Structure 1
């Protein structure tokens, strides 16, 4: 086995917002980071910078753009913003709290949790989010050196659907990927048979896997 590692994709969720604290569905609403969220982004950026990323792409919504800016500041890398990396548009759900969604749209919420294709609030299907986000991620990955690393700064729902699509999981199983905490990340690595999930919802420096499954 040689030292060739293959390309890596780090999918990094934005820092905390006020709506996160209020458990309010953000979707494509442009909500800024809190001071705590900015602090999370600064801390995480120092860790991610040590992984020596080659490129940064980010959602153009303020909370993701501000998170990405912290990594750009410590790496000197340019950020490519793309609206295809925005959070799922969720129509009338946007701005509602978790409790309000369950009260007002309980059947729709339950169907979504069961893995059925649901236009939450009359918005996008999860498969449509993957249709717009995953190709952008792959296009930028193809520009990397053979062992390069791309950082994608995006949103919880968009990251989950993108990971599901890149791993080749059926859309009804994407929910089995747990959510990402604010400013945590997941790492995909290019293997002989496609992409592999190496880290999920990590908030510390990824460690090499030492064992049989290499």
Structure 2
């Protein structure tokens, strides 16, 4: 699909592992109080701009699902979709980012942005995330609120903006943020 409906993409709020600098991947840790406050703020922003008639989708991972539940002030049905899960990081899951850099310093010597995610031993790989997120977007039938994760959000936004997914690390991230994408234009709302 070349023209997508209006999309609001939320990244989950801060988790305990985010705060500790640990790789989460397909594992989970609970939202911190800051993360819960971020999700409630997302809900207030969504209520202010209005998203009636939007379908709600969320990664089934706990941190995203909890964020979706807290941000969903109008009580819309939330549909879990595994294609919105975060990239699987294999053997790096649970490690601190500093430990990953120590294990594989060669991956960080080049100014290659976040592409080191593609080298996680036993990990999913970025192309697989791009394929599943493109498939998800291809199934959309109207405007949507999507609650997901950092890497997944960036790759989704590349598709929606008409950019190659490999440019994902040129897009900003942030926890507890909302991006509105319409007509291949992005606006950060929080």
| TM-score (normalizing by structure 1) | 0.78
| Distance in 2, Cα, partners of 1:106 & 1:8 | 40
Counterpart in 2 of 1:125?
125
Aligned residues: 184
Matches within 5 A, 1:1-214: 7-53=5-51, 54-72=54-72, 74-110=73-109, 113=113, 115=115, 118-140=118-140, 142=141, 144=142, 149-179=143-173, 181-190=174-183, 196-200=184-188, 202-203=189-190
Shift of 1:94: 1.0
| TM-score (normalizing by structure 2) | 0.87
Taking a change above 3 Å as real, the CA distance of residues 121 and 78 of structure 1, as seen in their structure-2 partners, is same
- Structure 2's unaligned 5+ residue stretches are none
Taking a change above 3 Å as real, the CA distance of residues 171 and 110 of structure 1, as seen in their structure-2 partners, is farther
The farther-off stretch of 129-138 and 91-100 is 129-138
Deviations 1:180-206 (A, max 9, x none): x2110212103xxxxx13214x31xxx
The farther-off stretch of 131-140 and 53-62 is 131-140
RMSD: 2.1
| Distance in 2, Cα, partners of 1:91 & 1:37 | 25
Shift of 1:12: 0.4
Shift of 1:93: 1.2
Taking a change above 3 Å as real, the CA distance of residues 189 and 60 of structure 1, as seen in their structure-2 partners, is same
| Distance in 1, Cα, partners of 2:90 & 2:117 | 15
Contact 1:115 1:173 in 2 (8 A): no
Contact 1:9 1:188 in 2 (8 A): yes
Deviations 1:147-199 (A, max 9, x none): xx3110000010111111232323432211122x2110212103xxxxx1321
Taking a change above 3 Å as real, the CA distance of residues 57 and 132 of structure 1, as seen in their structure-2 partners, is same
What is the SS of the residue equivalent to 2:49? Answer: coil
| Distance in 1, Cα, partners of 2:132 & 2:97 | 26
| Distance in 2, Cα, partners of 1:21 & 1:114 | 19
Moved over 6 A (4+): none
- Larger Rg over CA atoms: 1
